[in-house]
Structure 1
Amino acid sequence: MEVIGPPDIHHLNAAAGWLGLGAPADAAEELDRIHPGLQGHPDVLAVRWQLFATQKRWEEALQVARNLVDASPMSSCGWVDQSFALHELRRTAEAREKLMLVSERFHDVLVIPYNLACYCCQLGDESEARAWLHRAVQVGGRDEVRTMALADPDLEPLWGWIRKW
């Protein structure tokens, strides 16, 4: 993978900083200053996805995530972002399918079984959602997963069960 050098790395870092400060318009300007030949770099795509997600521009976020999967298929980031965008577009069954494809490849990434639990729960498959939550606990620990799950409206149908952990 090509290393992003100056001045483009400065624009990328500034874009991430602007997003952290809640200034997406400034982040977009910084991203647009990055050399056109680097716009498809996974690091640039990841920040652009964050920008679109912040703005709830889910169609654009989905396209960026697909580009990220193509550019870096061995990184979980694009797969997770792609599925999340699909879920936000109310294409939850497709989100689950896409993430299931890589659940074994990224077996140690907490967000994958956790998000699969959310998607299964939203699709009405509480049994499978529980199984994915158990897997998430194996990766991230009971306390962390329990805290996340009890704050997540996607898992609300399971809150009573989760509280008993």
Structure 2
Amino acid sequence: MLYLSQPSKVQSLETQRALNAADGYLYFNLLDEALEELGVIPDSEQKDSPVMLARIRLLLHKKEWRSAELLSAQGTGLHPDEGEFTVQRAFALHKLDRDEKAEQVILAAPDWIRRTGILHYNLACYEARLGDISTARQCIDTAIQINAGIKKSARVDPDLQSLWN
């Protein structure tokens, strides 16, 4: 399971090599090395979607929630059709204990992303932490209906523990 692998949207071989190297470093939890690899990518490609998403994932792994949230917001503006920016921004806001804002971000997501299990899973987490167990339960049920594999993660997620007690 490689974290940063995704279809190529960038042109330069140098950038592809750096993304692949960063992916490998991230897989082995060598976060600083992964960030160094992303730093060698030419300035002209730093705002490309795959590069920005790679950097956001690294920031999330480093628990640099605020930086990840800011970069995700910028990515949403630059690449409005790339739904992962919305999901990552909401997750970072959630980690910053800004669940109401995270929920607003998710609810403003494009229609197609609302049909994904991860979106409903995240909403369940936010609602549970905000104390609305009934809505959280509805959200997690929807997420599991869309993607049954989510159930295993939901059972052990500390944000959703109130649903199972």
Contact map agreement 2:10 2:50 (CA 8 A) in 1: no
TM-score by length of 2: 0.90
What is residue 93 of structure 1 aligned with on the other side?
100
The one-letter code sitting in structure 1 at the alignment partner of 2:125 is: C
Deviation at 1:21, TM superposition (A): 1.0
Output the CA distance in 2 between the equivalents of 1:32 and 1:4: 17
Deviation at 1:8, TM superposition (A): 1.4
What is residue 120 of structure 2 aligned with on the other side?
113
The one-letter code sitting in structure 2 at the alignment partner of 1:149 is: A
- Percent of pairs identical after alignment? 31
Aligned residue for 1:65, secondary structure, equals: helix
Output the CA distance in 2 between the equivalents of 1:146 and 1:138: 9
TM-score by length of 1: 0.90
Aligned residue for 1:106, secondary structure, equals: helix
Output the CA distance in 2 between the equivalents of 1:129 and 1:96: 12
Output the CA distance in 1 between the equivalents of 2:128 and 2:100: 11
Q: 1:123 to 1:13 in 2, by over 3 A?
A: same
Aligned residue for 2:114, secondary structure, equals: coil
Q: 1:129 to 1:75 in 2, by over 3 A?
A: same
Structure 1 unmatched ranges of 5 or more: 161-165
Structure 1 residue ranges (4+ consecutive) displaced by more than 6 angstroms after TM superposition: none
Aligned residue for 2:112, secondary structure, equals: coil
Output the CA distance in 2 between the equivalents of 1:67 and 1:116: 22
Larger deviation, residues 81-90 vs 102-111: 102-111
- Residue of structure 2 aligned with 1:15, choices 7, 22, 47: 22
What is residue 163 of structure 1 aligned with on the other side?
none
